[in-house]
Each structure stands twice: as structure tokens, then as C-alpha cells.
Amino acid sequence: MKPALVVLAAGASTRLGRCKALVPLAGRTPLERLLAAGCGLPGPALVISGAHHARILAAAPEQVEVLENPNWRAGRSGGLALAQAARDGRDLLVAPVDCPRVPRALVEALVGEWLERGAPARGWLGPRHAGRHGHPIVLGRDLARTLRQLPPAASLRDLRGRADPLWALDTEFAESLDDLDTAQDLARIEAELQPRPGS
């Protein structure tokens, strides 16, 4: 079975100064872009919110489940543990709003590779572009369950160290390396989304 889509959108976006999931980005928000990229996955999509829960809940489509992480300040692992509990027994495709331009083609490539390799229960698969690892990532169902053993402040590297097998899919999609954190990042990503003259 294909993985379930999990969008991580719990942070306060303090460096950006406004809700990262809902900033306008060439006509669509990061949340809208990631939900569209993962629309081929069995639903409902799951959004993990936190600091801006009320705003994200109001903006999310009806068919999307929004789950609040009350301990969002501790870090991503706590939110991922909530996602795992809500989708227990499912592999997860995890897409942080920090990486908002992920195209549907990249999601489809990751899912296709994951299924072709047998969807290992403790596996990890992520994109790699120009030698650098990016997002989104696919977590096997049993690997995701180990989140219950990690503190909420644990990093994704801690979870990655428990993966078996640990795979990377080489890709031409530089968007997998986006890191939307500041107003400068937002301006750069938006500029890259604008049509080029003559295109």
C-alpha cells in the first residue's frame, strides 16, 4: 500500500515572522502545494500543526485531517509520533512545510521506488540531489513506531540511525533541498517560481 501523507507544520516560524504554512508563494501557500504534491496518496492527508493550529485548521480543506501537537516547541519528533499513532500500521511520507516546492513528480518517484523495493517495514527513503539529502522522506511502518521510544526533542537523525535499510533516491529535483526559514528564503523561492522570459 502507498504511504500516508504527513505534512509537518507545527513550528512558530519566528524567523519568518508569520505562519510558514500559509504564506503566499506565487499564488499558493506551502500547505496547498504539499497537499497537491501528495494528492495521489491514499487519504486523508494528515497535517501536524502547533503554534498556528487555529489558522491552519481554518485553512485546510475539509478532507484533510489536522492534528495539533501541544508540545510543538520540543521539536519534530513529537509531532511525528502523533502522526504515527494516527496512522498506525502505515508507511509515512513526511513533507515539512520548510520544503514547499516539492513537485508531484518527486512524490510519485519516491513512492514508486519505495513500492518497487518492497516497502520495508523499518526502511527509510529520501531524495538526494547533487550529493545532498532532502525532503520529503518515506518511513517504514515499524520504523515510524520507534518514534514512541524517542523523546519529543529527538532529531530526525536519531530516527534515521535506526533505519534498516537506509536508502536515497538520486533526483534532479533541486526543490527537495529548499529550506524556507526567513524572509530572504521566501523572496528567493518566490523568484524561482516566477516564469522566465521566453518560457
Give the CATH number for residue 40.
Answer: 3.90.550.10
Q: What is the 3-state secondary structure (H, E, C) of 106-120?
A: HHHHHHHHHHHCCCC
Predicted TM-score (pTM) of this structure:
0.95
How far CA 94 is from CA of 79, 87, 101, 130, 187, in Å, comes to: 11, 12, 14, 21, 25
Domain-embedded: residue 61: yes
For residue 44, whether the previous peptide bond is cis, meaning omega lies within 30 degrees of 0, is yes
Contact partners, residue 148, CB within 8 Å, separation at least 6: 81, 84, 85
Range of the domain at 113: 4-193
Domain-embedded: residue 198: no
Domain-embedded: residue 199: no
Question: Per the structure, how many domains does the chain have?
Answer: 1
Domain-embedded: residue 20: yes
Contact partners, residue 122, CB within 8 Å, separation at least 6: 140, 142, 143, 162, 163, 164, 165
Domain-embedded: residue 29: yes
Q: Provide the residue-wise pLDDT of the chain in tens; the chain has 199 residues.
A: 999 999 999 999 999 999 999 999 999 999 999 999 999 999 899 999 999 999 999 999 999 999 999 999 888 889 999 999 999 999 999 999 999 999 999 999 999 999 999 999 999 999 999 999 999 999 999 999 999 888 888 888 899 999 999 999 999 999 999 999 999 999 999 999 887 665 4
pLDDT, position 6: 98
pLDDT, position 174: 95
pLDDT, position 197: 63
Count of CB atoms situated within 10 Å of the CB of 113 = 16
pLDDT, position 153: 81
pLDDT, position 76: 85
pLDDT, position 180: 95
Phi, psi angle pair for 104, to nearest 5°:
-60, -35
